């Protein structure tokens, strides 16, 4: 008996028990679709994480010193260094009450200069940035995020309006374009941005600041720029050669690497969990094939009696098993892609088509059919014709 005839015979045997065959394939369908969804979600999450991280700036870094603050002289000195393209102080204050007429809310304050918007790639929806005169004169002006705009102004034009921040009147001069939110739920649009001089002196009664944001000319210069900045502060702080830094430099490259490592680990973990479903589906196929062998024992005896060889019987049942798992794998791939697309559509994540995950999923489904179908097929092939014909 040739392979074509064996395949036709296997398909007919499967078609006789449509419901049982369908239920047998469910485990494989769930396993394959899970792999497709999990790998796709992992890839999409990696891209989404990269987009969130790069809001820090792909060529940026932050310098933080817990023990002693930075001052305006540090900003001017670092600005003269060739490697530094943009630099901004950062004064941060959270859960600050904002009041406009009869509406109020809590928000975060950022005290910066105009370089900050370039580093973070933040654009304005309307209005303008700070003028040099406003920064120098500690002007009470503020640029607001879209969450503040929606909550306080109800989508009305905020430019020129006056809000109270810590009971101090500030004029709104700009509205930031929407930034979105972090995976943790933190709202990047619930912000108030004012000149760093205003934030430090008027709001916190100090002339220094705890953090610097710096951008290199391009992503390839980030590490070199970070080292130049590191050496500057080591010289300024008179740190001995072997002593540790008394400040911290965090670059966008480091953040991105950590985020991608986490995403890769989660993708592997989730795909591994999904592959367990394939194993469970394989056990289901083995169980059904064993039942099928028992039900068709007399049929096997008749085939052997009219000349079917051991390998013919083995191949016939193996083809049935592989067909069940392969059809389940194909359906699982289509179902998985549909579910994956639906999820990322609602999450507004990018659709990352992973051809490798499709190939690997189908290969595993095919392999499961061979692995779990071999034992029932061998059991059928090992039957003796006379015993099979006597089987009731």
Any domain includes 173 = yes
The total number of structural domains that make up the chain? 2
Any domain includes 58 = no
Same domain as 99, residue 23: no
Residue that is last in its domain, among 215, 246, 277: 246
Tell me what pLDDT residue 129 has.
Answer: 94
Tell me what pLDDT residue 390 has.
Answer: 55
**Angle, helix 297-305 to helix 310-347, in steps of 10 degrees:** 130
Distance CA(78)–CA(148), nearest Å, equals 33
Same domain as 99, residue 203: yes
Encode pLDDT of 37-78 as tens digits.
877 877 777 776 666 555 556 678 888 877 667 888 888 898
Is the per-residue pLDDT at 162 higher than 60? yes
Distance CA(155)–CA(269), nearest Å, equals 44
Same domain as 72, residue 47: no
Any domain includes 255 = no
- pTM for the complete prediction? 0.61
CB 325 within 8 Å of CB 278: no
pLDDT bin (cut points 50, 70, 90) of residue 389 is low
Encode pLDDT of 321-376 as tens digits.
788 788 888 888 899 889 888 888 887 777 877 777 788 778 877 887 777 777 77
Same domain as 90, residue 238: yes
Give the residue among 193, 176, 364 at the shortest CA–CA distance from 285. Answer: 364
Give the residue among 206, 372, 175 at the shortest CA–CA distance from 287. Answer: 372
172-181, 186-195, 344-353: segment of lowest average pLDDT: 344-353
Angle, alpha carbons 204-206-210 (nearest 5°):
90
Same domain as 311, residue 210: no
Any domain includes 253 = no
Question: At which residue do the structure tokens 């999409």 appear?
Answer: 44
pLDDT bin (cut points 50, 70, 90) of residue 139 is very high
Residue that is last in its domain, among 213, 246, 279: 246
Distance CA(139)–CA(203), nearest Å, equals 12
Same domain as 119, residue 41: no
Encode pLDDT of 240-253 as tens digits.
888 888 888 888 77
Same domain as 169, residue 72: yes
In order of 303, 323, 381, 383, the CA distances from 299 in angstroms are: 6, 20, 12, 11
Any domain includes 223 = yes
19 lies in which domain range? 3-51+263-390
Same domain as 70, residue 44: no
In order of 110, 125, 289, the CA distances from 99 in angstroms are: 17, 22, 72
Distance CA(278)–CA(356), nearest Å, equals 17
Any domain includes 172 = yes
Same domain as 273, residue 212: no
Residue that is last in its domain, among 191, 219, 246: 246
Tell me what pLDDT residue 203 has.
Answer: 86
Query: What sections of the chain are H helices per DSSP?
Result: 3-16, 18-53, 72-79, 115-119, 132-136, 146-148, 196-197, 222-236, 252-295, 297-305, 310-347, 355-381, 385-390
Same domain as 86, residue 32: no
Tell me what pLDDT residue 10 has.
Answer: 67
Same domain as 354, residue 274: yes
Q: How many CA atoms lie within 13 A of 277 on its CB side?
A: 22
Any domain includes 252 = no
Same domain as 339, residue 373: yes
Encode pLDDT of 292-316 as tens digits.
666 666 666 676 666 667 777 777 7
DSSP-derived secondary structure for 78-126:
HHTSTTEEEEEEEEEEEEEEEEETTEEEEEEEEEE-THHHHHTT--EEE
- Any idea what DSSP says for residue 70? B
Any domain includes 251 = no
């Amino acid at each position: 008996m040739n392979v074509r005839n064996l395949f036709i015979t296997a398909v007919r045997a499967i078609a006789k028990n449509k419901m049982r065959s369908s239920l047998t394939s469910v485990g494989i369908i769930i396993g394959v679709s899970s792999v497709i969804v999990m790998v796709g979600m992992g890839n999409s999450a990696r891209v989404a994480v990269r987009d969130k991280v790069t809001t820090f700036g792909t060529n940026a870094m932050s310098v933080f010193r817990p023990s002693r603050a930075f001052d305006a002289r540090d900003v001017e000195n670092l600005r003269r260094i060739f490697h530094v393209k943009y630099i901004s102080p950062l004064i941060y204050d959270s859960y600050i009450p904002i009041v406009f007429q009869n509406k109020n809310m809590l928000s975060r304050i950022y005290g910066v200069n105009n370089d900050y918007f370039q580093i973070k790639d933040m654009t304005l929806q309307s209005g303008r940035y700070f003028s040099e005169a406003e920064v120098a004169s500690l002007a009470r002006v503020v640029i607001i995020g879209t969450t503040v705009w929606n909550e306080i102004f109800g989508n009305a034009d905020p430019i020129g309006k006056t809000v109270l921040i810590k009971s101090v009147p500030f004029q709104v001069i700009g509205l930031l374009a929407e930034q979105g939110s972090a995976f943790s739920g933190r709202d990047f649009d619930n912000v108030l941005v004012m000149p760093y001089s205003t934030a430090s002196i008027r709001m916190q009664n100090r002339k220094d600041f705890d953090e610097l944001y710096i951008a290199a000319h391009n992503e390839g210069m980030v590490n070199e720029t970070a080292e130049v900045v590191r050496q500057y502060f080591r010289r300024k702080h008179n740190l001995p050669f072997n002593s540790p830094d008394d400040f911290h430099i965090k670059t966008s490259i480091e953040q991105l690497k950590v985020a991608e490592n986490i995403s890769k680990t989660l993708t592997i973990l989730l795909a591994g969990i999904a592959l367990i479903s394939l194993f469970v589906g394989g056990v289901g196929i083995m169980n059904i094939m064993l039942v099928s062998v028992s039900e068709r024992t007399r049929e096997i005896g008749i085939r052997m009696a009219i000349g079917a060889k051991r390998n013919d019987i083995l191949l016939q049942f193996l083809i049935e098993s592989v067909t069940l798992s392969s059809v389940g794998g194909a359906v699982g791939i289509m179902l998985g892609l549909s579910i994956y697309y639906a999820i990322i559509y609602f999450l507004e994540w990018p659709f990352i088509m992973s051809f490798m995950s499709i190939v690997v999923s189908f290969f595993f489904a095919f392999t499961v059919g061979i692995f779990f179908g071999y034992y029932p097929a061998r059991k059928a092939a090992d039957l003796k014709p006379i015993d099979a014909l006597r089987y009731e």
